[in-house]
Structure 1
């Protein structure tokens, strides 16, 4: 019998945010959420919640803002995923999500692998996956917004052990419905929880979604501000992966045992079909 607790409380904050300095508002919302839901052990914010879009907002990390989030996590005794922020590193700018422990320590910083090009200009792609353990609970992974459109990113985190994917998002466009279908499909194929947190107000169109390891929607938010507090059951992830989704497909075992060599991943692989698509640029 597993010694892990059956459940773990998370709150996803879909907040009405302006393209402005939102630090004090975010800290206030984090504190109020913990007071309202004392059983919550992790709080997650949306992508670029701190200031919105603009590589000019980049700061070297650790920054004063990141340290403020660390203090909040330590004072409240929570895991904190404060959305993402622009990180300046030499001449490069990354879209980065810190992972902060209840002790107020940053144990990882995930850099978005797929900036939303050609629109997210001036942002460099990261190249390192981030998974981390919550002791006696389970393994979590982090990705950001457009990363989800590349299924290899989710599968890689699951390969590395992730049972829960934390996915800050900032979508203010008409493709939000399509993103919801990607989240559901990704959770089903990878038999994991996905916590997809979008912003509302000026920054986004809302409709955050929490999906379980059998593709079940635990909550889909409206377009308004919502504090989405819920519990995940990591024992269920283990059960679904071992027995199969709804007692049927044991997808991860088949992937593990398969001997397929995918042509797109061979060293030096080039696709004539994809080459014919031309340059990655804003359409005329």
Structure 2
């Protein structure tokens, strides 16, 4: 058995002032109550909230305080993420991994900002994989990243056994996200530690899933600290023998005969995707993507002012063309 104790902290997050001291206070309480905790994960954008006007340069004072806390408690610490203002002016959604010596050993910027709603946030391009000595290999993704299985595929193909997943989901798609978290654990035979915030930080309902897609812990809608001891040997066993002795998913992917031409942008396999409209926020009364039987309503002229009303009938029966 290779046990390792990971605690998620689901806490109230304010949008208009710093939450750093609140995080440090909860960390103090957590370690007093559960001193056997070895790693702590906070939710996405917990330190300074969801508004990018509070973007910070890296390094910054808050990171130094978190480094001090990691060293003081002898823990691995992932203090959620924060908006990072880079030297070139671009803003990223960035997380760091701090080891028990207080060193930042990894840094990760969210690959899939929640566009179009997070317009203006730059996308990261580097994956985050790090090892906890004598324990196992961990990977980090942030919120919307998990909706794209390619991100977890890359991480687990590099040997990641535990996916750390800070989120900020305060919207009605939380049920879908929870389903994706469970599916991710089963598809990639890994633990998923999914930590959401409260208030401006989300609707809670944080989740811990094991590599057989069994829910080990499900938070509700109030503050919660949940240390869970995971067993990395369970990951290794199931990757060799299958989930409950059944599907050996990673090995089946490794031994595949098919190649996926959709990932070659020049192959033309993604031609359908090019027929979809622009990535933008829906407008009131939008009919995008709907099949309309009446050519006069097949396309709302306010959505495509470049097309005269008398030409709208040519779009009848087409989906995604606006």
Please give the range of the TM-score, normalised by the shorter of the 2 chains. over 0.9
Is 1:75 equivalent to 2:72 in the alignment?
Answer: yes
1:35 alignment counterpart:
32
Per-residue Cα deviation, 1:212-236 (whole angstroms, up to 9, x for no partner): 0001000111011110111000000
Q: TM-score, normalised by structure 2?
A: 0.85
Query: Does the residue aligned with 1:231 lie in a helix, a strand or coil?
Result: strand
1:12/1:229 contact within 8 Å kept = yes
CA distance in 1, matches of 2:29, 2:267: 51
CA distance in 1, matches of 2:51, 2:279: 20
Residues 144-223 of structure 1 mapped to structure 2, 5 A cutoff: 144-223=142-221
CA distance in 2, matches of 1:48, 1:202: 10
Residues 83-162 of structure 1 mapped to structure 2, 5 A cutoff: 83-89=80-86, 90-162=88-160
Query: Does the residue aligned with 1:40 lie in a helix, a strand or coil?
Result: coil
CA distance in 2, matches of 1:70, 1:249: 41
User: How far did 1:269 drift?
Assistant: 3.8
User: How far did 1:267 drift?
Assistant: 4.6
2:58 alignment counterpart:
61
User: How far did 1:92 drift?
Assistant: 1.0
Is 1:240 equivalent to 2:238 in the alignment?
Answer: yes
Higher alpha-carbon Rg: 2
Equivalent of residue 3 in structure 2, options 7, 13, 16 = 7
User: How far did 1:203 drift?
Assistant: 2.1
Query: Does the residue aligned with 2:57 lie in a helix, a strand or coil?
Result: coil
CA distance in 2, matches of 1:11, 1:92: 32
1:58/1:88 contact within 8 Å kept = yes
2:71/2:100 contact within 8 Å kept = yes
CA distance in 2, matches of 1:18, 1:66: 18
Q: Please, which moves more after superposition, 14-23 or 39-48?
A: 14-23
1:18/1:202 contact within 8 Å kept = yes
CA distance in 2, matches of 1:177, 1:126: 26
1:55/1:122 contact within 8 Å kept = no
Q: Root-mean-square deviation (CA), in Å?
A: 1.0
Q: TM-score, normalised by structure 1?
A: 0.96
2:314 alignment counterpart:
none
Residues 41-56 of structure 1 mapped to structure 2, 5 A cutoff: 41-56=38-53
2:281 alignment counterpart:
282
CA distance in 2, matches of 1:141, 1:48: 18
CA distance in 1, matches of 2:117, 2:159: 32
User: How far did 1:145 drift?
Assistant: 0.2
CA distance in 2, matches of 1:267, 1:112: 22
2:50/2:200 contact within 8 Å kept = no
Gaps of at least 5 residues in structure 1 are: none
CA distance in 2, matches of 1:155, 1:221: 27
Query: Does the residue aligned with 2:38 lie in a helix, a strand or coil?
Result: strand
1:108/1:130 contact within 8 Å kept = yes
